[in-house]
Amino acid sequence: MNLNTFIRLYKEFLKECKQKGWSVEILIEDSGDYLTLLKNTEGIEVEFYIEIDFENYVQVNDKTNQTRLQYGVIRKEGEGNLFAKQVLDLFHKYLAKRSPKRRSYLIRYLPKKSDGN
């Protein structure tokens, strides 16, 4: 899967979370790092994160690199366990519907060109 497709799916997933009545607050949206605070209707909060490893990559060809991606949910221990599981299950179902392969994700991206500075 390419990086732009995955990020698009992530943003669509957040819209689906809002449709479920959950509060969605994006805390970090940086190249490769995404952190979103999700709060359900009972007020339980979890943080959903995505980290893309741009430092450890494999060059596929002259124009494309491939790297690993990690995602998950951060919550207070004991609190939010059920909601965290619900968020991950929903994300997995969302990806499974829209992605032909649901394994550990390898992200393909075009490397940024160095300007020599």
d(CA 27, CA 40): 17
So what's the pLDDT on residue 117? 47
Task: Give the residue carrying structure tokens 């390898």.
Answer: 106
In a domain, 104, yes or no: yes
- Look at 82 and 79; give whichever has higher pLDDT: 82
- Structural domain range at position 33: 3-109
Q: What is the pLDDT of residues 7-50, one digit of tens each?
A: 888 999 999 999 999 999 999 998 779 999 999 999 999 999 99
d(CA 113, CA 68): 20
Cβ neighbours, 10 Å, residue 97: 9
pLDDT exceeds cutoff 80 at 113: no
In a domain, 115, yes or no: no
In a domain, 62, yes or no: yes
Q: Looking at the 3D structure of the chain, how many domains does it have?
A: 1
Q: What is the pLDDT of residues 51-68, one digit of tens each?
A: 988 888 888 888 888 888
CA distances from 55 to 47, 52, 85, 97 (A): 24, 9, 30, 30
55: its two tokens? 């430092």
In a domain, 63, yes or no: yes
In a domain, 114, yes or no: no
Whole-prediction pTM: 0.80
